[in-house]
Amino acid sequence: MDIEYRGRRVRLATGGRPVDGDEPLVVLVHGAGMDRTVWQLQTRWLAHHGRRAAAVDLPGHGASEGPPLTSIGELADWLAGLVETLDPGGASLVGHSMGSLVALETAARHPGAVQRLVLMGVAASMPVHPDLLAAARADDPLAARLITSWGLAVPSRLGGHPTPGLWMSGGSTALLARAPGGVLGADLAACDAHGTGAVDAAGAVACPVTLVLGRDDKMTPVRAAGPLVDALTAAASDAGIDPPTVVVVEGAGHMMMLEDPAAVRRALDEALPVA
């Protein structure tokens, strides 16, 4: 479905059900160079299991209008306003990779907009390899191939998926390749420039948090989330809430929601409230 927000069209995938209603709202935020379709194996399930789902195309991505925003902070402010538009009572945010940085920053800057966080493929910082950043800025197809190569675990690249015929390498490359010119470069530059901003934001988070990490993730390895988990644990103690939950998906890489959708679904079901 399309809505108008800040004078521009924003595309949402709602799993075939209306985004308005009484069920808890879950907003899913994609990673760099991607769009709402990366959540296709989660959105419909959430929408038919006691939640309202809204997988969003960020500005300039997918079918959403506008140039891409160029910093994690700008994206966080934009997302907080979108949540307010969809439900003034707030939402649970589910982010992947860059989307996790955006969700975390949103919770720190706009706590009233965020009820819970699920952060997938996240790390304390997300520096981008210079070769990848250069390729993305030049709109070189090599960038999509590099992300797919680094982002999928070996079994996923060799056809190891529970859905027969689903080609994850080809599908992931095609998803990145269809992004408009300049989008992937802008997104990766925003991640690179964010530095340790995720750890700073974590210190201000006062809602329940679940991290979902791929055991074989080469882009955001499990160990790279350690400082973030520490900061979230300290913030939870200050807020008097439970410490963050960490779920490690065995055999999955950076694209765990595509590589092992059943494990990710279970993590979401445990982390997110139902009506």
Helix, strand, coil percent content, the chain, rounded in steps of 5: 45, 15, 40
Report the C-alpha gap between 101 and 52 in whole angstroms.
22
Locate all alpha helices (DSSP H) within the chain, ordered by sequence. 40-47, 72-86, 98-109, 130-137, 142-151, 154-157, 168-177, 183-194, 197-202, 226-239, 256-259, 261-271
pLDDT in tens, 130-149: 999 999 999 999 998 888 88
Using alpha carbons only, how large is the chain's radius of gyration in Å? 17
Mean pLDDT across 231-259: 95
* Residue 163 confidence (pLDDT): 59
Local structure of 42: helix, strand or coil: helix
* Residue 174 confidence (pLDDT): 77
Local structure of 248: helix, strand or coil: strand
Tokens found for residue 263: 């494990």
**For residue 20, is pLDDT > 60?**
yes
8 Rama class: left (phi>0) / alpha (psi -120 to 50) / beta = beta
**For residue 168, is pLDDT > 70?**
no
pLDDT in tens, 103-134: 999 999 999 999 999 999 999 999 999 999 99
Element of type H or E holding 120: strand 114-120
Report the C-alpha gap between 66 and 52 in whole angstroms.
25
Single out the residue of 85, 42, 26, 33 nearest to residue 62, CA to CA: 33
Residue of 7 and 170 predicted with greater confidence: 7
**Confidence tier at 151 by pLDDT (50, 70, 90):** confident
**For residue 82, is pLDDT > 90?**
yes
All structural domains of the chain with their residue ranges:
2-126+196-271
DSSP assigned state of 38: G
Residue of 195 and 160 predicted with greater confidence: 195
* Residue 148 confidence (pLDDT): 87
* Residue burial 227-257, b: 16+ Cβ < 10 Å; e: rest: bbbebbeebbeeeeeeebebbbbebbbbbbb
DSSP assigned state of 152: S
**For residue 154, is pLDDT > 90?**
no
Average pLDDT taken over every residue of the chain: 93
- What's the fold here for domain 2-126+196-271? Rossmann fold (3.40.50)
**For residue 30, is pLDDT > 90?**
yes
Report the C-alpha gap between 222 and 230 in whole angstroms.
13
CB 24 within 8 A of CB 92: yes
